Structure 1
Amino acid sequence: MDKPNTSAGPLIEARDLTFEVGSGAGRVNILRGVSLTIGEGEAVGIVGPSGSGKTSLLMLLAGLERASSGSLSVAGRDLAALDEDALARFRREEVGIVFQSFHLVPTMTALENVALPLEFAGDEHAFTRAEAALKAVGLGHRLTHYPGQLSGGEQQRVAVARAFVALPRLILADEPTGNLDRATGLAVMDLLFDLREKYGTTLILITHDPALAARCERQVQVQDGLIAADSAADAARQAEAAE
């Protein structure tokens, strides 16, 4: 497998992003002006309390929700300018997502689950590539097993294989260890970081756990819908002060 295509400049450019949703009490401001630049190959841990806007930010980056205002470019694409079909192609070609609750299709085998995004893309080698991906995460012996026949850790390994199988430039992981015990969660995170290193993929990790976020070279704290801290910005300020 080759590494994802890379290009000069940042992979993600967000400027003054806001995200509002309706409720019985009126409009609720979830993101209130988020600006963020993330380069190719970076690993970024995004932390913050529940309700701070972390998952909403991930949904915008994945093109699963649309920003209320502001601008967002991912992999050179202006997401606001894409219709739903174009957004689906964008996700298929550029993004892999690992959710807390696995999101596997229960009526499909592990092999079929991993092959699914490649089949949607019309890849005639979908099942060969899916088998290789499952072997890479240590599940070559579970190809024909259904999610209900797998442990939680095995299901999340299938989800990781599915996220990486198309070699996307961006992996979004939303609390990937949230439903796993500590030992299994650490094993899944080791796998996630190993694959990210192998393929040079940009990784954005949403987590409540500061120790997991610390495994990324950059940490961003979201609070009340805003960027409260960014280790990259802090490092830049320290470098300027030292000059």
Structure 2
Amino acid sequence: MTDTILSLRDVTLALDGNAGRVEILHGITLDLREGETLGLVGPSGSGKSSLLMVMGGLERASSGTVTAAGHDLSAMGEDSLARFRRNHMGVVFQSFHLIPTMTALENVATPLELAGRRDAFDRAAEELEAVGLGVRLDHYPAQLSGGEQQRVALARAAAPRPRILLADEPTGNLDGTTGEAIMDLLFGLRDRHGATLVLVTHAPELAERCDRIVRLVDGRVDGEAAAGAAA
């Protein structure tokens, strides 16, 4: 039986805002198997991105437990969480979050260098080649199109060979054709490295590429189903 790599138990999230305390997630319980792809869908404001942030330890659950790759994220401090993400997770956002003063190669190599990888630049070049940017290694983000910048972000997320890939609307800032190419690359990276993929999306056709779809409404799981054929 395939091992569970990500497990949430009765997770809640409440944040303090200008209008007072806002309850965002309500008693989320969810398991993901190693190598599985999961699509998170639901209307805007349903808590999809917040749930992804909790899964990655980027937001701390108010109650409940989050266990990833055998580590209890809810019991870890910020430094430990940062090291855990560096070693086990790749995160891709709708906004590319590239460092503008670094080339594509440097953007991808930096997290590898921080992890002490001696082959950081060789591996970064390999990943950029895999996403079709082998001839753009020395270009800065401002010299790249939106689709190319997202390819750099994908390469950066995949370069450490993470066991878990989290993607939050990775095609949201791209046109349809470019977005489809990015999704092909994302699922290709999943296939190549065997990572578990969690994808937040508003697009049903993207969610259908996952093994399983979970729908959120008002911060609660409103339904779960097997999707179409896995990518």
TM tier, shorter chain? over 0.9
**Corresponding position: 1:22 with 2:10:** no
In structure 1, the residue matched to 2:229 is none
- Alpha-carbon offset, residue 8 of structure 1: 5.4
Runs of 4+ in structure 1 over 2 Å off: none
In structure 2, the residue matched to 1:162 is 156
- Alpha-carbon offset, residue 43 of structure 1: 0.5
Q: CA deviation digits over 1:144-170, x for unaligned, max 9?
A: 000000001100000000010000000
- C-alpha RMSD of the superposition: 1.1
Tell me the TM-score normalized by structure 1: 0.91
In structure 1, the residue matched to 2:192 is 198
Q: CA deviation digits over 1:44-90, x for unaligned, max 9?
A: 11001111000001111111110000111011000011111110111
Aligned residues: 226
**Corresponding position: 1:81 with 2:75:** yes
Tell me the TM-score normalized by structure 2: 0.96
Structure 1 unaligned blocks of 5 or more = 1-6, 233-243
Distance 2:113 2:217 in 1: 39
2:127 is paired with a residue whose SS is helix
Letter in structure 2 aligned against 1:205? L
- 1:39 aligned to which of 27, 30, 33: 33
- 1:92 aligned to which of 86, 91, 103: 86
- 2:99 aligned to which of 92, 95, 105: 105
- Alpha-carbon offset, residue 9 of structure 1: 2.3
- 2:50 aligned to which of 31, 48, 56: 56
- 1:134 aligned to which of 128, 140, 147: 128
Distance 2:107 2:216 in 1: 33
- Alpha-carbon offset, residue 220 of structure 1: 0.5
**Superposition pairs for residues 219-230 of structure 1, below 5 Å?**
219-230=213-224
Structure 2 unaligned blocks of 5 or more = 227-231
2:49 is paired with a residue whose SS is helix
1:111 is paired with a residue whose SS is helix
1:231 is paired with a residue whose SS is strand
- Alpha-carbon offset, residue 116 of structure 1: 1.2
1:107 is paired with a residue whose SS is coil
Letter in structure 1 aligned against 2:224? D
Structure (1 or 2) with the larger CA radius of gyration: 1
